[in-house]
Every structure is written in C-alpha cells, then in structure tokens.
Chain A
Amino acid sequence: MAVAEEDIHVPIDRDVDVVTAREKGRELASRLGFSRTDLTLIATAISEVARNIVVYAGHGELVISPAQQGERCGIAILARDQGPGIPDIGKAMLDGFSTGKSLGLGLPGARRMMDEFEINSTVGAGTTVAMRKWVR
C-alpha cells in the first residue's frame, strides 16, 4: 500500500528557493512512479514557474502534491503569488514574448511539459498557475 503523501509547501522568495522547489518536486514525482524523462520535465516546469515568482512577483509559494483522477495518479503543482499580475495572459503564453527579463519561454514551455496547465491572473492581485501531469 502506498504511503499517504502530504502536500509539500515551498515558500518562494529567492533564487535558491527555485532549486529547492524543483528538487522537492522531483523527489515526490519519483516516489509517485514517474519515468526519468518525466521527472526531468516536471522539475524543469517547476523551475520555470518558480522563477517567474522570484522575477516578477518577488514572493510566493509552490504547493506540490499527489493527484488522483479515477485510476490515474499524478502530480499537481500550484504556484501562486500576490505580485503585480499579468495584464495580457494570451501574450504571456506566446513563445518568445517577454517583458525583457527572460527568454519568454517559461510559461508556454511549462505548458508543453505538463499534461494540464491553467493560469489565472488579476492585475494588482497576483497570479496562480496550476499544472498537472499523469503517470504513464
């Protein structure tokens, strides 16, 4: 029987927290039975959304937890901040669009690496990114 996994909360305030978040995410994903390739994809996606918090919002949090849907199991990653928000999400999701602090591949890249990706943002209130990936 699988051991019940607790949600992992990782506060994101500095660049080193990005490393902590992706390491914790990789550890949980590994326990959940993801392949090596998927572990790298998950860790990279976490790195991108966590860095967005550091660069654009300054402070925020990642919640990494196991996900279950019928027979499927997977990993859920929630990234949230109370930063300035994204005025045009459509644009932010375009490859190569950046306000100048990055290559502009983080969000669209994370979406490609995960199975499910949802972003909500309110200018002045913050941004939430919810991503899930299922064990194949």
Chain B
Amino acid sequence: MPVPILKQGAFLIACIQPGLSDHQLLMLEDHLSGEVERSRAEGVIIDVSALDVMDSFATRTLRSISQTTRLRGARTVVVGIQPDVAFAMIQLGLTMDDVSTALDLEEAIATLAAGRAKRHGRG
C-alpha cells in the first residue's frame, strides 16, 4: 500500500493513510524526493489528517522529508495534524519547528502559492 502522490500544478500532494509502517514511510520519503526531482515541483504537501498516531519515527521522517526537499529547492507543508495527535506529540517532546504546518489542504496550497509568488516576484 504505497502512498499515492498527486500533482497539482507546481505542487505534489501525498495523503498518508492510517496504519502506515516505518518501511512504507521511508519509501514515501524516497518516492517524494524522486518525484520532486522528476516533476520539478516547488512545493510538497503531506496530508496526515488520517493519522491517529504520530510517534517519534513518523515525526523524524517528516522532518527529514522537509529538509531534503528544501535542499532541492522545494518547500514542504504538513497538513491536518489532529488535535489529540498534536497533544501526544508535545507530551512526547516532539517538535516540528523546522517544518511548515497548515490546518487544511486549502491553507497549505495558499501558503505555498504565496511563497512562490514572492520568489517569482523577486526573480
């Protein structure tokens, strides 16, 4: 059950399904980094709204995806962290300081589009 990656304009969207194993998360990381390269995406949106647990491994992998794609010139926004999941992450001591987050897909696209307009305006 690999995570499907959709393309929406200059952005890639991955919706993580519940019950994803560590291995599948690492595959997503690989897959996304290949897709960013191949499609020259400027932004990546990872929808985690279906996840009822985000433990240290999931958080570390999302951080790693965000950092890797940034080095490739794309921004990552993590979308839809559930309130209970956010609370558990705080208890666990996990932070996503270096990862952009948004409440929903619409807000994530707006964030990425605004960043894009800024970059292109400057160029």
Contacts and interface: CB of A to CB of B under 8 A. Distances in A.
* Chain A bound to chain B: yes
Interface of A: 15-16, 18-19, 22-23, 26, 36-37, 39-41, 43-44, 47-48, 51, 54, 95, 102-103, 105-106, 108-110, 112-113
Contacts of A102: 56-57, 60
Interface residues of B, number: 22
Interface of B: 19-23, 52-57, 59-60, 82, 84-85, 87-88, 91-94
A44 B55 contact: yes
A113 B87 CA distance: 10
Nearest to B89: A44
Interface of A is mostly: helix
Interface of B is mostly: helix
B21 A22 contact: no
A105 B52 contact: no
A29 B92 CA distance: 19
Nearest to B26: A15
B22 A40 contact: no
A48 B55 contact: yes
